[in-house]
Amino acid sequence: MSTPSFEPQAFERADTETLPEGTRIAMALEYQGGAYRGWQSQDKPKVATIQDALESALSSVAASPVTVICAGRTDAGVHASHQVVHFDAPVGRSVKAWHAGCNALLPADIAVRWVCPVAGDFHARFSATARRYRYVILNQLRRSAHLVGGVTHIDVPLDEALMHREAQVLVGEQDFSAFRAASCQSHSPMRNIHYVNVSRHGRYVVIDIQGNAFLHHMVRNIAGVLVAVGSGAQPVGWTAEVLASRDRSQGGVTAKPHGLYLVDVNYPSEFDLPQLSPGPEFIRSFGAEFAADRP
């Protein structure tokens, strides 16, 4: 029987040295977003958010209020396999205490992947140089009860090679007005997409996209356009037409949130953050490219 292999940092660090009060702490999370109204805390009572759940757990570990800042705010129903946050420790605690204590207090659908003390100038949002998302589509006739909420089900055949070719017009720094939500509050529609890869793995089609940052609903709107072309509902070249229009009304339907995962956030090497393979967990068996840190 072969010995199972594990990620080199898949287990919590056994660092029990107490870090001083005021230490800036970086933390990576994974979560299922289905039960939450997105990442950000809301003024409405009894609205569950990822931020509230995490801050509650951290505040219990610290016996003092803790506020976190994240790399990218995910929408309601959207998941993450590598969301990065930071906070300034209000009390002295060890890495192990923050990691194990937080995991013991978080709901089952939120987990801490790693904890790391960082320099005081580290900022989860502003220090990030890139964000990476994967949109996972279950492309078969019947839906799956086991995968509900974790993938987007599309029951018509998709031409993933065509979708990949269509997506290449999105690469580079461009005006993505046609792919931003009407409620988007960003001051500029300009974003730089580093790459978009669309590939099939049996019954799954995966859209893998990285950019410096993303507008509100931008990845879901891109997915919606690519699916429309890949299914034959729109003609070849429609992605370029939508992009050139700079008009959101030309962009078709926003894809559902269920298949969307924030899978990685890049930072300058000087911060020396742990590197784990991107997720989500269940697609790592698709091949080596899905287990790698970078494509």
Domain end point (choices 85, 100, 127):
127
Q: How confident is the model at residue 289 (pLDDT cuts 50, 70, 90)?
A: low
Question: Over 50: is that where the pLDDT of 4 sits?
Answer: no
Gap between the Cα atoms of 282 and 286, Å rounded: 8
Q: Does 287 score more than 80 pLDDT? A: no
DSSP letters for the chain: -PPPP--TT-S-----PEEPTT-EEEEEEEE--TTSS-SS--SSTT---HHHHHHHHHHHHHTS----EESSPPPTT-EEEEEEEEEE-SS-EEHHHHHHHHHHHS-TTEEEEEEEEE-TT--TTTT--EEEEEEEEEESSS--STTTTTSEEE-S---HHHHHHHHGGG-EEEE-GGGS-TT---S--EEEEEEEEEEEETTEEEEEEEES---TTHHHHHHHHHHHHHTTSS-TTHHHHHHHHT-GGGS-PPPPSTTEEEEEEE--GGG-------S-GGGGGG-HHHHSS--
Confidence of residue 168 (pLDDT cuts 50, 70, 90): very high
Which domain-ending residue is among 75, 107, 127? 127
| Domain at 183, CATH number | 3.30.70.660
Q: Do both 112 and 181 map to the same domain?
A: no
Positions marked active-site: 75
Q: Is the pLDDT of residue 1 over 60?
A: no
* Same domain flag for 156 and 93: no
Q: How far apart are CA 108 and CA 10, in angstroms?
A: 17
Can you tell me the mean pLDDT for 8-14?
46
Contact 162, 230 (CB under 8 A): yes
62: nearest Cα among 41, 89, 83, 84: 89
Residue 167 clears pLDDT 70, i.e. is over it: yes
What is the DSSP pairing of strand 93-94 with strand 172-175?
A: unpaired
Confidence of residue 11 (pLDDT cuts 50, 70, 90): very low
| Chain center to CA of 201 | 20
In a domain, 269, yes or no: no
The pLDDT assigned to 186 comes to 85
Q: Note whether 162 and 236 are same-domain residues.
A: yes
Average pLDDT over the chain, rounded to an integer? 90
Q: What is the pLDDT of residues 175-198, one digit of tens each?
A: 999 999 888 878 899 999 999 999
Residue 6: pLDDT band (50, 70, 90) is very low
Closest CA to 10 of 265, 280, 294, 274: 274
The total of structural domains in the chain comes to 2
> Residues 135, 120: one domain?
no
For the chain, percent of residues with pLDDT exceeding 70: 91
Q: Within this chain, do residues 103 and 224 fall inside the same structural domain, yes or no?
A: no
Task: Provide the residue range defining the domain that includes 185.
Answer: 130-260
- Per-residue pLDDT band for 10 (boundaries 50, 70, 90) equals very low
Tell whether 85 and 195 lie within a shared domain.
no
